[in-house]
Structure 1
Amino acid sequence: MFVGSLGVLFRHQLPALLTELANRARVQSITASSAIEGVVVPDVRRAAEVIDGRAGVLRTRSEKELAGYRKTLDYLFQEDWHPLNLGLLLHLHRLLWSETEYGGGQLKTDDNLVVDRSPDGTQTVRFRPVPASETPDCLVNLIDRYDAAQRAGRHHPVLLVGLAVLDLLVIHPFADGNGRVARALTNALLIDAGYEVCRWVSLEQLIAESADGYYDALLASTNDWHEDSADPWPWLKYFVTVLSSAYETFAQRAASDRSGGTKQERVRKYVLEHAAPVFRLADIRSALPGISDQTIRLVLDQLKAEGLVTPDGVGRGAVWRRSPDASQLRR
């Protein structure tokens, strides 16, 4: 797994790539973390305007919440957010809701439940967070224990970040917005511990793509949390797997950028040798940042003419299928 020192290395060798990856990861993190909570702006172009601050008047609740998460994430990535304390958590929550009429920046005043809602309307309690009356003390205790554990250096910093996030989610300190605050803070704590990959690969996007695993791991590790007998390892295994996947994605994109050849040659090589048998244009775009959709479509048309790929569908839902023997070919 790459660590912070390699981030410094790539800043010198591939600065343009890192800038492109950072811009893309920012957009993905804002949209994915919001989508996990059902906050979606269907118009992709409009969502991009909201994220870039070019939208003007925000029209819907979802647009306002998207803009709020942008402020939260940007604060942690661009500002010196230290120290980690209760005031920081309240400030992040205030930023999250700053574009809405909702009163952010306050801890919950009533006990809450985390529930699953089935299509027939029934609800199942996933876990019971810390009571509202105990929340301030639990948060201060969590922060103090985390800081002490990081300074002691007896445990791997990634595990400590994972455990801190798990406890924060179980405390569930706010009436709404807990997941988004926790995911934004995860990025900052990882960067602080020397694991900077979330600057260039969106952890929130990876979580959204594995949402069932995310919720299953949380459920498995929150059982009996109040009795101090919960098993943190299902969550930690998931957390480490997501982080490892982010580094693998980063390595793949960096290797692709350094592999040389024209942009068309790089697209061709990726499609024939690395893409899944069934893939979308968006998969190529994600794997090869900095290459335009026009170039990707041009190469796909060429491969189609050679009988190496076949389109299935049109528009955003279209997929491409690689012929069985295409992966054996070379440029």
Structure 2
Amino acid sequence: IAGYRDVLDRVTEPAEHTNVSPGLIRQLHATLYSHFPHEGGRWKATNKDIVERDSEGNRVGVLYRTVPATETPKAMEFSVGLYHQCLEKTIEPLLVVSCAVLDFLCIHPFSDGNTRISRLIATLMLSINGYDICRYISLERIFAQNEQAYMDALRFSVKGWHEGTHNPMPWINFFLDSVIKAYEELELRVDALQNQGSRAPKSQLIAMAIDNAKGPFSVADICIQLPTVSRELVKKVVQQKRRSGELKPIGKGRGAHWERL
């Protein structure tokens, strides 16, 4: 969570003139794993197949074969270059970003953490191109909530990718639908805040996230839902709700969870 938050801070509000590059992507991956004994930021050293599993977690086959390890650096350079070329040709950024994310998933450049980094890269690219929705709504969460649709879209769009004969539309449709859901959720939250006449929108957003939680949740769960809200503010609102009798703790320490009463 700590590494994820560090990367999230960089991609939701990127510094001026931030430029997407293979080097930046490696930096983000290194930051993601900075709190683990994992060699983050290095391209994969071995080939890897993406396994398809059923609802019980049993392997049912190979979903797709990723780019070989020896070809990964070149593939990443080409993919990032294509991303910039398309933007220079004034192709709609949402289409460019969605295809760039699909390419990243097919290349699968790291030995671990590719799915999470792909969503962080999507957040970065959206932010750079003027789509700031990820500052308020977690795209990661929306993808996770629609995991089956995510896998179906990926399954249909990766076929023929290596040969350049794939159909990106299932993935593009899923990606755009996820962005639309994020904006719709933001609209609902803004309407709710306006109706409440709130003077402290971030505190209200936290309270709403807690009220909408299904089952026990952790402070980290709320932080992931609200990327621009500080952990300390989340803890403050949680404690307020605890004192008012709305929440009860489950466990202690950083691994503690909370349950609504």
The TM-score range, normalised by the shorter chain, is 0.7 to 0.9
Deviation at 1:95, TM superposition (A): 0.9
Between the aligned partners of 1:242 and 1:297, the Cα distance in structure 2 is 35
Deviation at 1:317, TM superposition (A): 8.5
Aligned to 1:158: 94
Between the aligned partners of 2:97 and 2:176, the Cα distance in structure 1 is 10
Deviation at 1:117, TM superposition (A): 3.6
TM-score between both structures, scaled by the size of structure 1: 0.60
Aligned to 2:7: 72
Runs (5+) with no aligned partner, structure 2: 200-209, 215-221, 226-233, 247-257
Equivalent pair of 1:190/1:196 in contact (CA under 8 Å): yes
What's the CA shift string for 1:228-247, capped at 9, x where partnerless? 11110111111011100111
Aligned partner of 1:138 among 75, 89, 98: 75
Runs (5+) with no aligned partner, structure 1: 1-65, 264-279, 299-314, 319-331
Aligned residues: 220
Aligned to 2:252: none
Aligned to 2:63: 126
> Are 1:94 and 2:30 an aligned pair?
yes
Equivalent pair of 1:76/1:185 in contact (CA under 8 Å): yes
Between the aligned partners of 2:119 and 2:198, the Cα distance in structure 1 is 37
User: SS of the residue aligned with 2:61?
Assistant: strand
User: SS of the residue aligned with 2:212?
Assistant: helix
Equivalent pair of 1:94/1:103 in contact (CA under 8 Å): yes
Aligned to 1:282: 212
Moved more, 81-90 or 214-223: 81-90
Deviation at 1:75, TM superposition (A): 2.5
Between the aligned partners of 1:122 and 1:177, the Cα distance in structure 2 is 20
Letter of the 2:4 partner, please give it: Y
> Are 1:242 and 2:178 an aligned pair?
yes
Query: Could you list the runs of 4 or more consecutive aligned residues of structure 1 that deviate by over 6 angstroms after TM superposition?
Result: 289-292, 294-298
Between the aligned partners of 1:296 and 1:213, the Cα distance in structure 2 is 39
Alignment of 1:136-285 (within 5 A): 136-153=73-90, 155-260=91-196, 281-282=211-212
Between the aligned partners of 1:120 and 1:188, the Cα distance in structure 2 is 31
Quote the sequence identity (%): 32
Equivalent pair of 2:12/2:132 in contact (CA under 8 Å): no
Between the aligned partners of 1:193 and 1:120, the Cα distance in structure 2 is 37
TM-score between both structures, scaled by the size of structure 2: 0.74
Equivalent pair of 1:281/1:296 in contact (CA under 8 Å): no
Between the aligned partners of 1:189 and 1:95, the Cα distance in structure 2 is 18
Between the aligned partners of 1:225 and 1:104, the Cα distance in structure 2 is 27
Deviation at 1:84, TM superposition (A): 1.2
